[in-house]
Amino acid sequence: MRLCLLCCLPLLSACTPPLPEPVVPPPRVPADLLQLCPGYTGPVPREEGQISDALLAEARGRACANNRLIAVADILNSPGPGL
């Protein structure tokens, strides 16, 4: 009799629908990470001093953008709650 029950269990489980996929909410990204980073927005540099100022401002803007991308990547790659 036990053998019959052991055989019926896989047959009954084969008739049930598969379990639904869990719905995972998207990760929360702070709004300040989604803001634009300022680069150089002045006029076209004409002199050496203006070029160096523009290069420094552009480098600061790129560093800001790269740091924000790294922070967003850390948020997206971190395991969420309950995982």
Q: Are 68 and 33 in contact (CB under 8 A)?
A: yes
Q: What is the DSSP letter of 82?
A: T
Percent of the chain with pLDDT over 90: 51
Question: For the chain, which residues make up each domain, given as ranges?
Answer: 28-37+46-78
* DSSP structure string for 9-42: HHHHHHTSPPPPPPP-PPPP--GGGGSPPP---S
Q: Are 33 and 71 in contact (CB under 8 A)?
A: yes
Q: What is the mean pLDDT of residues 24-28?
A: 86
Q: What is the mean pLDDT of residues 32-60?
A: 93
Q: Is pLDDT of 6 > 80?
A: no
Q: What is the pTM of this model?
A: 0.63
